[in-house]
Chains A and B, each alone.
Chain A
Amino acid sequence: DAGVIQSPRHEVTEMGQEVTLRCKPISGHDYLFWYRQTMMRGLELLIYFNNNVPIDDSGMPEDRFSAKMPNASFSTLKIQPSEPRDSAVYFCASSLLAGGPVLYEQYFGPGTRLTVT
């Protein structure tokens, strides 16, 4: 099993540029999550999808952030325009509500380390 795949693994960009982070969840999983982790704020839930539909985006910091899930095997998190305070590790995770060994267990991707200069 390939696990959750994220790309790119590292991204360095200048303030004002558009950044797009990509995620491929585990095949068959019906939930997909985007998190952001910083030393100051820890791991924060930004948005999650169920069956490709956004369920809760209350964690999205502001209008500069947007997320889409056009199909069950792909999601993007876009930041436009990016700012230095967006520098963080962004994790994508997926889960299967029913049928797994642990209800609600989330499987995380390796993360994208974003640096905005």
Chain B
Amino acid sequence: RKEVEQDPGPFNVPEGATVAFNCTYSNSASQSFFWYRQDCRKEPKLLMSVYSSGNEDGRFTAQLNRASQYISLLIRDSKLSDSATYLCVVNRQHNDMRFGAGTRLTVKP
């Protein structure tokens, strides 16, 4: 079993839709959590950190459930520019990051 599991998708949604991605992790000692975004043939870039209390950045909302070892990302009012692969990332310790395989999102006009 992979340490970080994500639904690979693809998710194909119309502009303006709300879409949610889920992620589970197996290492209960994991300390911090992130969502990264990767555009086609580009490098991953940090989208947002995920905090226990949940956090929001504009149209993006991230949630963490430590008891269930579950992380989510909600995108509201999807834009064409949101089309990308979204990577769930878990920090075990000392900056040792483990990446999920990614969920591909395509937003269509």
Q: Please report A residues at the B interface, Cβ cutoff 8 Å.
A: 31, 33, 35, 42-45, 48, 50, 55-56, 91, 95, 97, 102-106, 108-111
Contact = CB atoms under 8 A, between A and B. Distances in A.
B91 interface: yes
Contacts of B44: 43, 91, 108
B78 to A, nearest CB: 24
B46 A48 contact: no
B1 interface: no
Interface of B: 32, 34, 42-46, 49, 87, 91, 94-102
15 contacts: A42-B101, A43-B99, A43-B101, A48-B95, A56-B96, A91-B43, A91-B44, A95-B95, A103-B32, A104-B32, A104-B91, A106-B46, A108-B44, A109-B43, A110-B43
Given A42-B101, A42-B102, A43-B87, A108 B95 contact: no
For the residues of B in contact with A, the DSSP-based class is strand
Nearest to B99: A43
B46 to A, nearest CB: 5
B49 A102 contact: yes
Interface majority SS on A: helix, strand, loop or mixed? strand
A97 B95 contact: yes
A106 B49 CA distance: 12
Nearest to A41: B101
B30 to A, nearest CB: 12
Contacts of A108: 43-45
A50 B43 contact: no
Contacts of A104: 32, 34, 91, 95, 97
A55 B43 CA distance: 23
Contacts of A43: 44, 87, 99, 101-102
A21 to B, nearest CB: 14
A43 B42 CA distance: 13
Contact of A50 (B45, B95, B102): B95
Contacts of A42: 99-102
A44 B43 CA distance: 14
B96 A48 contact: yes
